[in-house]
Amino acid sequence: MNTDKNAASEITLQGSQYMLHGFPVLGIPDEERAVKYFSLNPFLPNVQNRCSIECAYCVCHQDRDWHHYPQNFQDVSSPVDLLDLLLDYIFATQEGQKGFPISLCDYSDPFIPAHRERVLSILDALIDRKAANIVYITTKVHPGQSFIERLKTTLERPHSLRVTVFVSLPPLKPGYEQASIQSRVQLLQDLVNLGIPCCWYLRPLVEEWFDEALMWQLARTLLPHVSRHVILSGLVMSEEIEASLLKQELIVPEWDRTQLGRKQYLSLEFESKVRSILSTVASEQNISLGPVMGHRLCGTNGNHAYGCLICAKQNRYCQLFQLYHYGETIATEDNQRLKTLLRQNSVKVSSREPSTEECQ
């Protein structure tokens, strides 16, 4: 364990968040909020580190103490060993030791210039520690071909990590986000060409913002590359996000105010419509469409043995994924058998929901 008491004394634990100068540098798994991953942000949100994309629906809008005030961090320094200290915190927990997911630079974008070297440093540090965790890199930015080639080189080091780049690319009407659609399409294609595990992260899917024509276009462009790596996800809403939307004269979707700061589920009718578009395009192009998962933890499908959001077991494929393919769940100790079955392209069976008992 890191013993730099001066550095450690600057960090305080508030609920499930380790805070540095009022900024959440590390979020830990929290049963009360149903959060089952670590949010690792080893930086302070000054003008350089802060995300500049400014999505109208960004969850950071609810963090009024720092998101809109990067100037407050201009003259504040973080400990030089901040990353090592935060990794110590992670691996002092049972969840960290069991390989629970670590999400990088959530309160920014890990592929903006300020974070690119940081991301490689984090991966190197995890590899040096012989960690075996799932790692999320969620982005809307193409960092350039030279960087993703360096990322590939890093991931070619012998390691036990399970790293996936989540490219967030929702089919939205104009005004809700500014990030280039074409650059994200290109990023997915480039990642696939280099063999870097990635997925098309279809979020936030909000019916009132949905651009159906764009959805058809994206499906036809991307499914040849990521047909087995598609995730659906809803929107996190809060009063602050609502205020951001109203200020920009954008549509505020209907949302459950009892679920403040939590993911809003897609309506079954709307989700069926999105899935139908994906299925139709896959059929048109004679593409085998993998299970389109409805949440993040197991959404990378065939990339890795990702943990199940329902039962929180981290060392096997999600039960929903297993049931989609085989109509049954496969015991944890037989995870290699599941990988073999996947490679054999077993016949797909009807999907069903796992029972609560199966997920215990």
How far apart are the C-alpha atoms of 136 and 184, rounded to whole Å? Answer: 17
Query: What is d(CA 115, CA 42) in angstroms, rounded to the nearest whole number?
Result: 10
| Least confidently predicted of 81-95, 148-162, 179-193, 251-265 | 251-265
Query: Do residues 131 and 123 make contact, with C-beta atoms less than 8 angstroms apart?
Result: no
Asked whether 296 and 231 are in contact (CB, 8 A), the reply is yes
Q: List Cβ<8 Å contacts ≥24 apart for 93-97.
A: 93/28, 93/29, 95/28, 95/29, 95/36, 95/38, 96/38, 96/133
SS3 198: strand
pLDDT tens profile 121-161: 999 999 999 998 889 999 999 999 999 999 999 999 999 99
Contact 191, 183 (CB under 8 A): no
Cα–Cα distance for residue pair 43/45, rounded to 1 Å: 7
- 48-92 pLDDT, tens digit each: 999 988 899 998 877 777 888 888 898 888 899 999 999 999 999
300 in Cβ contact with 199 (< 8 Å): yes
* Closest C-alpha among 329, 327, 309 to residue 319: 329
Amino acid at 113: P
- Residue with the two structure tokens 């100037």: 71
Cα separation, 103 vs 36, in Å, equals 11
pTM of the model: 0.84
